[in-house]
Structure 1
Amino acid sequence: MTFGTLGENYELVAIKSAGISLQKAMRPLIVLILMLTVSSFVFSNYILPKANLKFYSLMFDVRNKKLAFLIKPGVFNNSIPDYSIRVDSKDEDGKMYGIMIYDHKGTNGIPKVILAKEGEMKKSKDGVYLVFNLKNGVTYEEQSNSNGVYNPRQILSRTRFKETEPKFDMKSFDLQKTDQNAFGNSTVMLNLKGIVKKRDSLTKQMDTLNRNTARTLGNNFKQNNLAAGYTKLKVVPKKIDNVMLKSIPNGSRLASIQNASNTVSVITQSLSNGAPRQEDLNGEIIFTSVEYQRKFTLAASCILLFFIGAPLGAIIRKGGMGLPVVIAICFFLIYHIVTTVAEKSAREGSINPVFGMWIAFILLTPLAVFLTYKATVDSALFDVNYYKQFFIKLFKIKQRS
């Protein structure tokens, strides 16, 4: 936008006529972009991890916050300690119908059951209790035996009511701050030093897992040559053809097949147990490499997009919020799409994580160099009249030939 305005008002022409090249005119903005680049790196390495840590810990608390209005029809809700609540339906005003409440508080394992046709939840005036206003219902309560022995003649009381208001303690609804250290090992919440440390730790875990798997599999194929080195008898090596059972005596074939089957089962079980863990470790190692490179690509993108945008403005010679903004958005979308696709491929293990995170920079750097060169030599790259005259001359040449 800045260089487009300068070009539109012929101020770039005045600057160049004074002997100042385009690169020299771009120096103040280059200094500004370098400051933004350093600030972007510092932000992504120090500030962003802490912001992610606070964001994810707070989001975890909000997700686990116990709210009564989250009661879903047809599902028992255990958000309130010692109570299970189920409703058949619920309208937009918060009124609930077909209410069933199991009260396990102080009943020695025998719940108190409350059934009501309709009801509504609200807070008490002091905000300490959650009041459930129930209408037209029945309460069933069975008295527990004091000695703990079942008595078939225990007393069951049934009470009908037109309206009642059981109270629930609101302490369980308080939002407790989760310890942020519980999320501190997440990759997106680490700086460069933390990512390197985590990647080394994951690599050691992967090496240990591979070593243990190889040792477990190797033990199943280990040969027990007990007589080796203790006899001077020379025995001709026995040749085994494709059908191995022919080389085994008839009386030992069944035992050999069973032993082989057990060995295969052990190997299959070992691989099935280790493969998911190995896949998870490999995915985490790739993700640490991706996040490590992201710290630098975010900063490098500032320089890359500047050397695309500034020469484009000088070539197009249009300022303001019109064409320059449209072209800038197009190039930003190209950069963002290439980066997103490459990052996804890198996280899936299809390409190298380092190459995947830098591929957009690699692809667009030649374009930035080309546009800077064209802007320096005053190329009419986007001049419609230039192309019109070019094709007219070309058409005349073909007619003469």
Structure 2
Amino acid sequence: MKILHRQIFMELCKLFGLTISCLLGLILVGRMLQLRSLFLSQDIGFFNILQLFFFLTPFFMLLITPIATMLSVFLTFLRMSTDNELIALKASGVSLYRMLPAPLLFCTACTLFTFFISFWGLAWGMDMFKTNLYYFAKTHSKFALQPGVFNKEFPNVTFYAHQVDNEKGELKFAFVRDESIKGTSVVVVAPEAQIVSTPQLAEIKIIFKNGKIFRESGEELNVLKFGSYSIKLDLGKLLMGFNFSEDKAKDMPFSRLAAIRDDPNLVPNQRPRFHRKVDTEYFKRLTLPFGCIILGMFAIPIAYVFRGLKQQYGLLLSMGLFLVYYTMFSIGVSMGEAGSIPPIYGLWAPNAVYVFVALVGMRYANKESTPTVVQWLLHLRYGRGAKA
């Protein structure tokens, strides 16, 4: 039995490493493609980009570790079933329950690993991501305008210049519109302007010369002529529009989430929606790690029920079952943040449903019987095939 458990555990670990690598690679490539325009417009090196994505890894790992655990267990037992290894073990007197220590140990290890990410790794990664992002904004970033193109990289600010010399930072026939103040629009027009970048202060200054300022507020319009006028911009906003001073629930360590839930006066100026997000994030950090062991145990009877299924179809099936779980989880998060239901119910509901199915399925799998609903579906499928 020790040899059997060791072999199952090693196969689970190999599949887990492969699955995590593939899922993480797909996510990072997709994220890189999404932000390609940002990186192309800034003077940020390839290794700096990899460094930023490395700090985002804990955030992604919290989401993909449960599905990687489920896929590893499902594909391992599906292969054993397809190769008739389970039948041979059953004939040798080894029941399903005697094979459980290896997957149970594996799922427990994945759960503990996810708890580590949830409690400490996520907050560390987001903190380092913001710190390095701001550092790159200060030391590497540049503000490049294209002639004849409206630039909207800064939130609520639009830039335009008919002629641009990015090397010298000179603009001809420059125009800027600032809508950062609600209900007020400020337009600055000048025949020439100069861009002065100060990376050490994470600041860009645009100096307009001999132009006009048009300020519109409601039905009132004011026009002001000037000889020299400058606008200061925060370089941090040039990179993904990050507000480094904003306190977000998803970036907090678990201990701070718990402290805010116990004493809301720690953040007295926040709205009720912020406290709902804190409450939802708190239960999210608890339920996702438990999802590893629940989905892992859920995958075993599913592999038994669909024995003989090819691995490519098994992969699609397991992905579909996880999609159902994640959809229920996402609905719980949305309803919890909206205040429709308490987050404790919405986020624990998927785990409760899958625990029930796992326990019932494990009982049927050990007896090598199939639930009536599955038998009916298989009969319906093969019945249609025979008629065709």
> What TM-score do you get using the length of structure 1 for normalisation?
0.51
Aligned equivalent of 1:30: 104
Aligned equivalent of 2:142: 67
Aligned equivalent of 1:200: 262
Structure 1 residues 176 and 322, CA gap change in structure 2 (3 angstroms): closer
Q: Is the 8 A contact 2:280 2:343 kept in 1?
A: yes
Q: Is the 8 A contact 2:162 2:174 kept in 1?
A: no
The structure with more radius of gyration: 1
Aligned equivalent of 2:249: 187
Aligned equivalent of 1:20: 94
Aligned equivalent of 1:339: 329
Residues in 2 aligned to 1:194 and 1:338: alpha-carbon distance in whole angstroms: 27
Aligned equivalent of 1:348: 338
Q: Output one character per residue of 1:314-349: Cα deviation in whole Å (capped at 9) or x when no partner.
A: 221136631210111011100111110111011111
The reply on whether 1:374 has 2:364 as its aligned counterpart is: yes
1:387 equivalent among 356, 379, 386: 379
Aligned equivalent of 1:317: 307
Structure 1 residues 370 and 391, CA gap change in structure 2 (3 angstroms): farther
Residues in 2 aligned to 1:365 and 1:359: alpha-carbon distance in whole angstroms: 10
Q: Is the 8 A contact 1:44 1:295 kept in 2?
A: yes
Aligned equivalent of 1:51: 125
Residues in 2 aligned to 1:333 and 1:361: alpha-carbon distance in whole angstroms: 13
Q: Is the 8 A contact 1:203 1:285 kept in 2?
A: no
**Structure 2 unpaired stretches of 5+:** 1-74, 177-188, 198-203, 212-226, 228-233
Residues in 2 aligned to 1:351 and 1:384: alpha-carbon distance in whole angstroms: 36
Q: Output one character per residue of 1:72-112: Cα deviation in whole Å (capped at 9) or x when no partner.
A: 858799x9xxxxx9645479x9999852499xxxxxxxxxx
Equivalent residue letter for 2:344: V
CA drift at 1:377: 1.1
**Matched residues, number:** 257
Structure 1 residues 38 and 76, CA gap change in structure 2 (3 angstroms): closer
Aligned equivalent of 2:293: 303
Residues in 1 aligned to 2:357 and 2:346: alpha-carbon distance in whole angstroms: 19
Residues in 1 aligned to 2:346 and 2:334: alpha-carbon distance in whole angstroms: 8
Structure 1 residues 122 and 192, CA gap change in structure 2 (3 angstroms): closer
Residues in 1 aligned to 2:278 and 2:125: alpha-carbon distance in whole angstroms: 18
Structure 1 residues 192 and 184, CA gap change in structure 2 (3 angstroms): farther
Q: Output one character per residue of 1:347-374: Cα deviation in whole Å (capped at 9) or x when no partner.
A: 1111011111111112222212222122
Q: Is the 8 A contact 2:305 2:370 kept in 1?
A: yes
Equivalent residue letter for 1:67: K
Q: Is the 8 A contact 2:162 2:171 kept in 1?
A: yes
Residues in 1 aligned to 2:175 and 2:325: alpha-carbon distance in whole angstroms: 56
**Structure 1 unpaired stretches of 5+:** 80-84, 103-112, 124-129, 133-138, 142-156, 158-171, 207-276, 393-401
Q: CA RMSD in A?
A: 5.0
Equivalent residue letter for 1:53: D
Structure 1 residues 14 and 193, CA gap change in structure 2 (3 angstroms): same
CA drift at 1:293: 1.2
Structure 1 residues 320 and 49, CA gap change in structure 2 (3 angstroms): farther
CA drift at 1:384: 8.2
Residues in 1 aligned to 2:355 and 2:81: alpha-carbon distance in whole angstroms: 23
Residues in 2 aligned to 1:51 and 1:351: alpha-carbon distance in whole angstroms: 30
Q: Is the 8 A contact 2:137 2:236 kept in 1?
A: no
Residues in 2 aligned to 1:67 and 1:378: alpha-carbon distance in whole angstroms: 65
Residues in 2 aligned to 1:174 and 1:57: alpha-carbon distance in whole angstroms: 10
Structure 1 residues 322 and 384, CA gap change in structure 2 (3 angstroms): farther
* Same amino acid, percent of matched pairs: 15
Structure 1 residues 341 and 8, CA gap change in structure 2 (3 angstroms): same
CA drift at 1:121: 9.3
Residues in 1 aligned to 2:312 and 2:298: alpha-carbon distance in whole angstroms: 17
Corresponding residue SS for 1:99: strand
Aligned equivalent of 1:292: 282
> What TM-score do you get using the length of structure 2 for normalisation?
0.53
Q: Is the 8 A contact 1:304 1:365 kept in 2?
A: yes
Structure 1 residues 174 and 39, CA gap change in structure 2 (3 angstroms): closer
Residues in 2 aligned to 1:97 and 1:204: alpha-carbon distance in whole angstroms: 48
CA drift at 1:295: 1.8
Q: Is the 8 A contact 2:145 2:151 kept in 1?
A: no
Equivalent residue letter for 2:316: V
Residues in 2 aligned to 1:192 and 1:23: alpha-carbon distance in whole angstroms: 35
CA drift at 1:383: 6.3
In terms of fraction of residues, the more helix-rich structure is: 2
Q: Is the 8 A contact 1:37 1:299 kept in 2?
A: yes
Equivalent residue letter for 1:15: L
